[in-house]
Amino acid sequence: MPGSIGHEKQDATTFASWMIEDSNLCSFKQGIDYLKYDNCYNDDTRPTIRYQAMSNALQETGRPIFFSICEWGDMRPALWGANLGNCWRTTDDISDSWDRMLKVADLNEVFADYAKPGGWNDPDMLEVGNGGMKYSEYVVHFSIWAISKAPLLLGCDVRNLSNETLQIISNEEVIAINQDPLGVQAKKVRMEGEQEIWAGPLSGDRIVVLLENRKPWSSKMIAHWDDIGFNSTNTVVEARDIWEHTTLTTKFQGKLTTNVEARACKMFVLTPLTN
């Protein structure tokens, strides 16, 4: 199919000029905010050259269009993508399976230090709602993408969303973590077999911690303060369970211990009460 090679300026100008009708205001407004630029049939043009051309063309339009680079992580775009676009695919395509989702998440996590406001690692679209995983597995999927500050792009048929799917993708507390203004991608801080602790700082001196159990049976898991980023093991925190929408009555010091079901996770936002 025709692509944009050699026509970047023409296409960028076209995208920026397209208008959509705002029925509420009975007026028109510019409607193109996001461009995902794929790398299929690239005529063997080096990605850094191809994406530079489209990046320049988009900037020349004067319209702020989010530029998503997608060359499937072939040339480690996390190392150079921030100079050209707003996000970059760090992996090959995802698919709707537990094993593939985890593999993509693991590959993306390697580049966590390169993400920052204005430039994000992209482990591909969400599979939530496509039916290939169980509810708890989709919760893990959505949680990892959220704490990774990845673009939360729905890859399911939005015309036919189940209640379970809506429950996941409309969780405002999880989305708020993804959109936290500090913009720091969470990382794995401890791995013990198929048990993983992910953590990352949030605005307001808070920390998000994800306890992920990849085992086919439930397990006790522990998040230690010296792993997840608190300055002192004496810090007392309040824990907010993001999926249960509940602030725990127990206050925690030094560590948080909880039971996590098979192929499931628990996510907490920890707010320090003392140092």
Q: Which domains does the chain have, with CATH numbers?
A: 1-89 (no CATH), 187-274 (2.60.40.1180)
Contact 61, 16 (CB under 8 A): yes
pLDDT digits (tens, 9 = 90+) for 35-72: 999 999 888 999 999 999 999 999 999 999 999 999 99
Candidate list 38, 92, 106, 241, residue with the active-site label: 38
Q: Which residues contact 248 (CB under 8 A, 6 or more apart)?
A: 238, 239, 240, 241
According to the model, what pLDDT value does residue 19 have?
77
Residue 249: count other Cβ atoms within 10 Å of its Cβ: 7
106 catalytically annotated: no
Q: Is the pTM here over 0.75, yes or no?
A: yes
33 catalytically annotated: no
Candidate list 93, 157, 205, 226, residue with the active-site label: 93
pLDDT digits (tens, 9 = 90+) for 135-179: 999 999 999 999 999 999 999 999 999 999 999 999 999 999 999
Contact 223, 255 (CB under 8 A): yes
